[in-house]
Amino acid sequence: MTPDLPPSVAAARALVAELAALGVRDAVLAPGSRSAPLAYALAEAADAGSLTLHVRVDERAAAFLALGLARGTALAGATAPVAVVTTSGTAVANLHPAVLEAHHAGVPLVLLTADRPHELRGTGASQTTDQVGIFGTAVRHAVDVPAPDGRDGEVRDLLATVGRAVAAARGLRDGHPGPVHLNLAFRDPLHPSAPLGPPPDELSDPARRIPGAQPDNSARVWPEGFRRTTVVRPAPGPGADPAMYGDPARTLVVAGDGAGPDARRLAEAQGWPLLAEPTSGAAGGPNAVTAYRSVLGADGISTDVEHAVVFGRPTLSRPVQRLLARPGVVVTVVAPGGGPWPDAARNAEAVVPALAEGWFEPRTPPAGGAFLARWRAASRAAAAVVDAATSDDAVADGLPAAPHAALAVARAVASVLGPDDVLVVGSSNPVRDLDLVLGLDHPRAGDLPTVVANRGLAGIDGTVSTATGVALAAARSGLRTRALVGDLTFLHDVGGLLRGPLEAGADLEIVVVNDDGGSIFATLEHGELAAASAAGDATFERVFGTPHGTNLAQLCAGYGVDHQLVLDVGSLRHALQAPSHGVQVVEVRVPRADRLVGTRALAARVAEAVRAVS
């Protein structure tokens, strides 16, 4: 039996085991105190025969030894990174000459530098300096890893980080191998409370290097449910196959921001349901699931999903991320290019640059069958609920008092736009509202507008300027541009309205959904705390709701921009359909007070409707 291990030792042990499982066959260790957890783990792995350990007193010599080991391995036609382990302080700096050589020569090294925990940095603690980014541009990938403290999931997260680092060292994404740097903070205690004893079988038997292979849980190296990611190297040819397990019929296609049309092509060719964000470029079609975020909240609808194919960057939906994180769901990420692949759930089975063209050839009969039929029925049920909540009748008394006014505004904007239109949408509530209603008024998928949003980091800053740039460029192709933003997003970049008299002007209509504050926070946990007490509500209003009381008409007048206030969806549609020139702001005032209650009530009605047809 292995004794209980301090978090530092348990994490280091799993890290070293994962390096071995990912093909690291040699590790060079320079002795030190802060790196003791790694030293114990390397000794255990060496005793088990899963890697060869080399010990050198001088870190500079250790790094060049690792460089030579990697070069020698390459002579045999293999690409195997070599690990170098040091303690903190000057020990790390002594790696730099070899790191520079490896950088320019394209030699894969994994630099594991121990560091003090964050609370000791900058305090004058012994052997503590700024090690973060110490190698600058000479490394392909660098991560500052916090000290383990025993929280649930931290070892699994660490191993996902290790997998990305080794893939970068080997150049699996971009064909550009080289050194990578993991700066590993460790907190006392740095040693096991008793000798580790015989190594577990999963270290000594390569055939058993898989999660869960060791029956004695006390000796387990990898955490329960850990799934290693296979990264497929881009290469000329027909493309890769998804990591398909179980019944291929029970597959979903997830299309995040920038996914492109291949996501929809795959879903329709294979007969799989499609969960597509508005900015995916794949929204619409017979397999697209309306209001999929709320549909996923229905009990039982997704319990039999076995596989998900992910395109683009899914960023809008917590339910989607929970689905992708489920241990029973195999995830294939399609990620062309050499950048980091999207896998926020750290659960991907395979990362491929592209799929084989055969996957896009229509299957007869479609693979989905009853599975797809159930999701289509759920989509129709959800669409009916959202349609009723956002119809003209539902907001007939005017938008300022309507329970789902912001949703109705997003629908009204989308309804008047077609394939020759571009819609720039703010990365707060507007894009989420559009996510629920896009397609309700477009019976044919080809009628949808192009939707653009700054979803790279999903900030609200610069949206007016972004929309202006889109409008200037889109006009060259004969496309008309509108923008849909919240009031805080608009105010954050109101300076984007400023244009000098010698600069080209854009034709752009900006719809500002004005609820006098940050309503998105009401839909998060902060809204729950606010609803619990009067004091909580006051705190919420000041630091999250942030009401501003700005007169947008006067603000626009100062910039010489036309402003129009509309009170109902009919007036909004008329304003958007009328010919326009220059920049125009269309303000729509909606309530914010009941946003949390309304959002949850609508989601509950969708879930109930889905259960009724499932």
192-206, 249-263, 462-476, 579-593: range with lowest mean pLDDT: 192-206
At 4 the pLDDT is 80
The dihedral sign for the CA sequence 65, 66, 69, 71: negative
Asked, as a colleague might, if the bond just before 365 is cis with ω within 30 of 0, I would say: yes
Q: What is the mean pLDDT of residues 3-12?
A: 88
pTM of the predicted model as reported, rounded to 2 decimal places = 0.86
What interhelical angle do 429-437 and 405-415 show, nearest 10? 60
Per-residue model confidence (pLDDT) at position 402? 83
pLDDT over threshold 60, residue 204: no
Q: Is the pLDDT of residue 215 over 60?
A: no
Per-residue pLDDT at 208: 37
- pLDDT value at 27 more than 50: yes
pLDDT in tens, 439-469: 899 877 678 999 999 998 888 889 999 999 9
| 36-59 average pLDDT score | 93
The string of pLDDT tens digits covering residues 274-297 is: 999 999 999 999 999 999 999 998
**Model confidence pLDDT, tens digit, residues 124-149:** 888 889 999 999 999 999 999 999 99
Q: What pLDDT was estimated at residue 369? A: 86
What's the mean pLDDT in 556-561? 96
Q: Go through the chain and tell me how many residues it has.
A: 614
Q: What is the pLDDT of residues 503-520, one digit of tens each?
A: 888 999 999 999 998 877
Q: Which residues partner with 230 through β-bridges?
A: 350
Q: Are 463 and 483 within 8 A, CB to CB?
A: yes
If phi > 0 it is left, if psi is from -120 to 50 it is alpha, else beta; for residue 581 that is: beta
Average pLDDT over residues 486-513: 93
What does the pLDDT read at residue 413? 96
Q: State both tokens at 16.
A: 């070293």
pLDDT for res 388? 95
- The per-residue b/e assignment along 29-58, b for 16 or more CB within 10 angstroms, e otherwise, is bbbbebbbbbbbbbbbbbebebbebbbbee
**Beta strand residue intervals within 186-316, DSSP E:** 230-231, 251-255, 274-276, 307-311
> Is residue 214 predicted with pLDDT exceeding 50?
no
Domains of the chain: 7-213 (3.40.50.970), 251-377 (3.40.50.1220), 391-613 (3.40.50.970)
Among 52, 33, 32, which residue's Cα sits nearest to residue 43?
52
| Residue 252 dihedral angles phi and psi, to the nearest 5° | -115, 150
Q: Per-residue pLDDT for 205 more than 60?
A: no
pLDDT at 267: 95
Peptide bond into 189 cis (omega under 30): yes
* Average pLDDT, rounded, for the chain: 89
Contact status, residue 576 vs residue 509, Cβ threshold 8 Å: yes
Put residue 89 in one of left, alpha, beta given phi > 0 → left and psi -120 to 50 → alpha: left
- Reduced to 3 states (helix: H, G, I; strand: E, B; else coil), residue 601 is helix
CA separation, residue 217 to residues 157, 197, 227, 551 (Å): 19, 15, 17, 63
Instruction: Write the pLDDT tens digit of every residue in 332-367.
Output: 999 998 888 999 988 999 999 999 988 998 887 776
100-121 pLDDT, tens digit per residue, is 999 998 999 999 999 999 999 9
Q: What is the pLDDT of residues 376-425, one digit of tens each?
A: 999 999 999 999 999 999 888 888 878 899 999 999 999 999 999 999 99
The pLDDT-based confidence of 198 (bands split at 50, 70, 90) is: low
Give the span between the Cα atoms of 607 and 614, in whole angstroms. 10
Local confidence band at 2 (pLDDT 50, 70, 90 cut-offs): very low
